[in-house]
Amino acid sequence: MTKTNIPEKGAIIQRDLETFSILPHIPGGFADPALLRKIADVAEKYGAKYVKLTGAQRIAIIGIREEDLDNAWSEFTDKSKAIGLTIRSIQMCPGTWSCKRAKQDSPGLGFALDKEYYGKPAPAKFKMGISGCANGCSDPWMKDLGFFGTDSGFTAVVGGKGGGTPKLGQAIAEGLTADEAIALTGKVIVFYREHGKTPERLGATIERVGFDAFMKAVS
């Protein structure tokens, strides 16, 4: 039987149609040395072909056999997974933690959102990007929901995406505090869960339902 992704095991089938990749949870790509060692140990122990830094600030362990998936995951303290129809890993720039250009604490907001939403269900993949300033190093304009920092707070952007039919999002609010950004995120996700039709992304849902109706729902 042809093997496919196994979402409940966070396993993505590889080109060989035999082995899988798994992606340990690394919020915003901020990994301490112990987690990096653990990833290397798991890759070595279970005979991975290699590890790969992904565009979503994760590290894929590639080439795990199906019979080893449970044991490989058991090695990690944080076993949360986010593939398929879920809220995916949230991209974050270093923001005020280390970047001299930062206007706002992007990891602070990103970690709060990660804690609440990482791996939770959605009508389709739902991506977020949080940047500390308008340079947008975590691509907030290319995410279903993005935030970037300004002198007055966070600006929120919705409806962007990458992929084969890329789309820039549109700004819907500015000058938000982190708490206001978190509250807005909750409303956007409720709207998407209520109105989204798999596999459409948030931008397509907003277009179908209407921008005014969307804004009314999230205001």
Binding site for ligand SF4 (CB under 6 A): 93-95, 99, 101-102, 106, 131-133, 135-137
- Would you tell me the crossing angle of helices 178-195 and 106-117 to the nearest 10 degrees? 40
Task: Name which of 168 and 213 has its Cβ closer to ligand SF4.
Answer: 168
Q: 95 vs 203, which CB is nearer to ligand SF4? A: 95
Residue number, 94 or 196, with CB nearest to ligand SF4: 94
**Minimal distance, residue 45 CB to ligand SF4, in Å:** 34
Q: Which residues contact 49 (CB under 8 A, 6 or more apart)?
A: 19, 62, 63
Quote the distance between the C-alpha of residue 7 and its chain's center.
Answer: 15
> Which CB, 56 or 99, lies closer to ligand SF4?
99
Q: Which of residues 136 and 203 has its CB atom nearest to ligand SF4 in the complex?
A: 136
The pair of structure tokens assigned to 118 is 């990482």
CA distances for 59 relative to 78, 96, 97, angstroms: 14, 24, 21
Q: 92 with 107: CB under 8 angstroms? A: yes
Least Å from the CB of residue 107 to ligand SF4: 9
CA pair distance 157, 160, nearest whole angstrom: 8
CB of 135 to ligand SF4, least distance (A): 4
Shortest distance, CB of residue 108 to ligand SF4, whole angstroms? Answer: 12
**SS3 state of residue 104:** coil
Q: Smallest distance, Å, CB 154 to ligand SF4?
A: 12
